[in-house]
Amino acid sequence: MKKARDAFTLYDLRVEVVATGKPMVCNHAAGDFFLVSGENLSLPPGQTFPIYPLAALLPLLPAKQRASDENDWMTTDALIACPDPHCGGQFRIVRTGRRTFRHSEVTRVPLEKRKASRRVRG
Ligand SMILES: [Zn+2]
């Protein structure tokens, strides 16, 4: 199949709770997880995920979705500590696969216009 001219790829992510030797305080348990695909976050049926660690994880997810240099710490580092300093939970962000998206399907900003404005600044 021919690749669309405006295609790009993002990693799908799995963010899972990892236990440490320290007890957990928040309402997350080892093995709990959520998935990220494009702009969508999904949880297994019946599972919840506390909003405070989610708030700490959210800024990292778009960066982990994108390809990064093999020497970049964003490529190698995958364990994130829970923001509650008394909680022993950690979260592992795993790249599970790549998914192709089309620019024209995820934004209304024309691709040509974006390239033109880049030239003006550059
Ligand atoms: Zn926690």
What is the average pLDDT across 42-53?
Answer: 97
Element (H, E) at 75: helix 73-76
pLDDT at 2 over 90: no
Element (H, E) at 9: strand 7-18
pTM for this one? 0.87
81-108 per-position pLDDT tens digit: 999 999 999 999 999 999 999 999 999 9
pLDDT at 1 over 90: no
Closest C-alpha to 81, from 71, 68, 67, 91: 91
Task: Give residue limits of the domains in the chain.
Answer: 7-121
- Mean pLDDT, the chain, rounded, equals 93
Cβ(58)–Cβ(94) below 8 Å: no
pLDDT at 118 over 80: no
Report how far ligand 1's centroid is from the alpha carbon of 67 (Å): 28
Placement of tokens 């003006």 in the chain: 120
The pLDDT assigned to 99 comes to 97
Report how far ligand 1's centroid is from the alpha carbon of 81 (Å): 8
The pLDDT assigned to 115 comes to 57
CA distance 96 to 14: 7
In DSSP terms, which residues pair with 81 in a beta bridge? 90
Report how far ligand 1's centroid is from the alpha carbon of 27 (Å): 7
Report how far ligand 1's centroid is from the alpha carbon of 30 (Å): 11
Confidence of residue 112 (pLDDT cuts 50, 70, 90): confident
